[in-house]
Structure 1
């Protein structure tokens, strides 16, 4: 798969009538988001509301996860995951799955398993189940919706830049490449059948700009495929990287005010924000290098409990740092 060339196709026309509200409900994402308890071990940079899951011990992480519980009904438990917490990892690493036995005991449930969760860097909804049959049924539902191209997950993102057009879909083939012990996702132009067999996957996301201000945007994203860092790469290809994306934002360069895509870099670099944006966010350049990823799994659809009923939904309030950024940029929640 040598000689990858960037390929991105964006077409207008937000799909409606997919059994999903085109405008996510904002209820619960204002006062509740600001009141959300934060884990101990806050960021030493002094920036408010920046959790540091990687700096927590096992007991502190359990305390944080107990405080992050959003809802519990029957065998289902939902959490609001902070950014930077991996769901799974190598043996011995501190991850969500590694503490599930203790968390199950602390919550008084049967053994919990992960049904749906965002990746390591995004924040947001984690759906757990203590019933294997319920977990299997939900996973089949999500798989069926994915095959039928019906989105079940809605993310919110703050982008450095404003996507054009303001709504549509992003279709691009992606591959996960490993170089010098570093993994990165790269777009692949016109993949062959051999490329697909070797791990290239065609990916698709819907997007809609919900608000703009100060050269940034609040964007709603609904992935229809699952691939590592899919949403981050899709927005990077739009030349509007997610705030706090220290893996792919460096591929967007600027000359005389015009943005362009740089060749894929072997190693991620921290995101560099211009002085005007740093001033609006009230951050120093050093603080900006530790800015959390502003990508949040806000809404998740569940199957209806009746044949003709509407799908159920779960909502996760925004993290305080996300709300703070919206306020600084003059963007509504």
Structure 2
């Protein structure tokens, strides 16, 4: 086996390293900077040069080596390379080759291109470890320009009525993608500190985003009529958000495809947009690997595994501590 699935995480014996481990290890190869994949406590880290600034911002002074997309590196008896995953800026799939056998660990991925992340690159392999966050047929993403029109129309209508627009989006990836869709001529754009700090890191890497204003304890809502405020989902029901009244609340997430989720979150609007592959994207990515052996992690693992088995794949569920996309405060990354 090129990879073993251990209590610490996904382990490569030939190279003596782990991929996105959830327990402290000596050497960790990291697919991207979200907290369920890039955790503190490892002795050594390896990630893409594009993911490194966010990881340092979040994890502090870590021993971090970097690698460029497509660069090949020998670690022990394994040859590794990192390839675009399209999930967030710097996100990668990790390709491993040991004695002629090739495995790919996808991390989180999205197959549709945006203006922020390097587009997803299909990789041929013998074994593919895939996420399945949205591994049900109901999850099919609308076109991005449609979502942009929906968000801007909601915001403009609220602004015309003297109502603030509070929009929940992950601080890393989702918030910046939403920002890239906005019409900044409608009204000011305000951000939660967690979002603005991440914006600053990514702007420092050359990412083009519209102008934003960070909300501070001194921010007076009356100074920003009609503003759209972007914050991690968990902040929308906190005292932090109560200064913006009256307000309409929205969430940007793949989970907004399910009406019941929006009702439970008491959201006025839900916008279907995700950094993860939808049902069609998952199936396309797996098909393009040419792999017969598929290992399914976090999401609708059992259902997706049964579907893959019915399609002729040798599919297995791999328990992990990855969470994918949620609307919980703990995952507002």
Q: Could you state the TM-score of these two structures normalised by the residue count of structure 2?
A: 0.30
Which one has more relative contact order, counting CA pairs under 8 Å at least 6 apart? 1
